[in-house]
Amino acid sequence: MDTKELKQAFEKTYGKQPQAIYFAPGRVNLIGEHTDYNGGYVFPCALSFGTYLLLAENNDNKLRFQSLNISEKVEVSINDIRPLPNRCWANYPLGCIAQYINRGFQLIKGYDMLFWGNVPAGAGLSSSAAIEVATACAFNDVFGAGYDKTELAKIGQLSEHEYAGVNCGIMDQFASAQGKKDHAIFLNCQTLEFQLVPVKLEGIKVVIANTHSPHKLDSGTYNDRVKESREALAKKDYTNPRARHFISEVKRTTDAVEALQKGDIATFGRLMNQSHVSLRDDYEVTGPELDAMAEAAWKIDGVIGSRMTGGGFGGCTVSLVKDEAIPTFIEQVGKEYKAKTGLTAEFYVAEIGDGVKRV
Ligand code: GLA
């Protein structure tokens, strides 16, 4: 949908024009997985697909959440902001608004909101972070708070912790907020210092493969990994496989970025493959579908590197593939994946886009 169609949809839903439109992207992480919540390095980039938020104030002191992707409509009084039951989708935006209230801003009006996103749902490409960052940005303007993009990312992360119950790191929201076209973000999750590194690669594309696996990383398993790795690191138990993954992944990430900056793409790819193996064996967040997808990719000539991306279990792999090998990649990986799992994979050639903005 383009913004004209979205405006029409808003008018149809609320019987008035939207006052503002925001866009925040999803993300794909190239390397540095399951390190953010322990203060490691990550290297994600924002995608060209994401979530739009259109909004207008109302005179009835209600926050109204509607989505063109989800049928459930939600209405909340501005004087009764708290987490919604049953893992309701509106917790993502509501939790961001709540962060402003916690910081002393006052809602004196209600708002009618309409969301629409084109991030494939459940693919681990951060559709929820996109909703959060779009909302955080919109209410930054509503309240005239003047927060920078890093602060918007923190607001999104806190919404995830307090309203969605996922103790996630900062990576997804940070990428959605600070992304830049044709760049990846080398982020130190301890200090939040970051560097934008160009990833416009001569003759090579970033290809995302969606497993469409029913096994999702649920908040329980994710929070377990957060706890297990934190405990092992606090005890300095570096033989513990969770801690070992963290240490080795941080090293791989810094080495990979260094290699990329030197133009040594082959080393970057090797480190991506090693990252997958570590996530499979030490961190145990891959599962048969992601393993089948990565293993199929590793066999193809012209694949520089391939690994799972995001939280894991289901979701997507990310691969660097030479232009001329992309058709074979899609055909062969799709075929082998189907034969091994019975599932149909879907492929996207990633376009690396900008972070959140008012449209
Ligand atoms: C999810 C979380 C992120 C990060 C990744 C794994 O996407 O939201 O904070 O931990 O998993 O790298």
Confidence of residue 221 (pLDDT cuts 50, 70, 90): very high
User: What average pLDDT does range 175-181 have in this prediction?
Assistant: 98
Residue 336: predicted pLDDT: 98
Residue 129: predicted pLDDT: 97
Residue nearest to atom 11 of ligand 1 (CA): 311
313 and 285 Cβ atoms separated by less than 8 Å:
yes
Q: Where are the alpha helices (H) located in 207-284, listed in sequence order? A: 219-234, 241-261, 265-281
Q: How far apart are CA 249 and CA 166, in angstroms?
A: 22
Confidence of residue 213 (pLDDT cuts 50, 70, 90): very high
79 and 292 Cβ atoms separated by less than 8 Å:
no
CA 222 to ligand 1: nearest atom: 11
CA 33 to ligand 1: nearest atom: 12
Instruction: Tell me the pLDDT tens digit for each residue of 144-171.
Output: 999 999 999 999 999 999 999 999 999 9
CA of 167 to the centre of ligand 1 (A): 9
- The neighbour count for residue 162, using CB atoms within 10 Å, is 15
Pocket of ligand 1 (CB under 6 A): 33-34, 36-37, 168-169, 171-172, 310-311
Confidence of residue 22 (pLDDT cuts 50, 70, 90): very high
CA 36 to ligand 1: nearest atom: 10
172 is catalytic: yes
CA of 29 to the centre of ligand 1 (A): 9
CA of 223 to the centre of ligand 1 (A): 11
Instruction: Tell me the pLDDT tens digit for each residue of 262-315.
Output: 999 999 999 999 999 999 999 999 999 999 999 999 999 999 999 999 999 999
Q: Which of 172, 218, 282, 354 is catalytic?
A: 172
Confidence of residue 122 (pLDDT cuts 50, 70, 90): confident
Among 28, 36, 229, residue to substitute to test ligand 1 (most atoms within 8 Å of Cβ): 36
Q: What H or E segment, with its residue span, contains residue 48?
A: strand 44-58
CA distances from 7 to 4, 21, 71, 128, 189 (A): 5, 9, 18, 22, 37
104 and 152 Cβ atoms separated by less than 8 Å:
no
Residue nearest to atom 9 of ligand 1 (CA): 169
Residue 210 clears pLDDT 80, i.e. is over it = yes
- What b-and-e string marks burial along 75-100, b requiring 16 or more CB atoms within 10 Å of the CB? ebebeebeebeeebbbbbbbbbbbbb
Residue 108: predicted pLDDT: 95
52 and 22 Cβ atoms separated by less than 8 Å:
yes
Give the amino acid at 34: H
Average pLDDT over all residues of the chain: 97
CA of 225 to the centre of ligand 1 (A): 11
The structure tokens 């894991």 sit at 312
Residue 200 clears pLDDT 90, i.e. is over it = no
Query: 276: which residues sit within 8 A by CB, 6+ positions away?
Result: 286, 290, 294, 306, 307, 308, 317
Q: How far apart are CA 222 and CA 233, in angstroms?
A: 17
Among 125, 160, 171, residue to substitute to test ligand 1 (most atoms within 8 Å of Cβ): 171
Share of the chain above pLDDT 70, in %: 100
Complete domains list, the chain, with CATH: 3-195 (3.30.230.10), 201-350 (3.30.70.890)
Q: Judge residue 167's burial from the number of C-beta atoms within 10 Å of its C-beta, 0-12 exposed, 13-18 middle, 19 or more buried.
A: middle
CA of 139 to the centre of ligand 1 (A): 24
Nearest to 244, CA basis, from 209, 206, 279 = 279
The structure tokens 């509607």 sit at 66
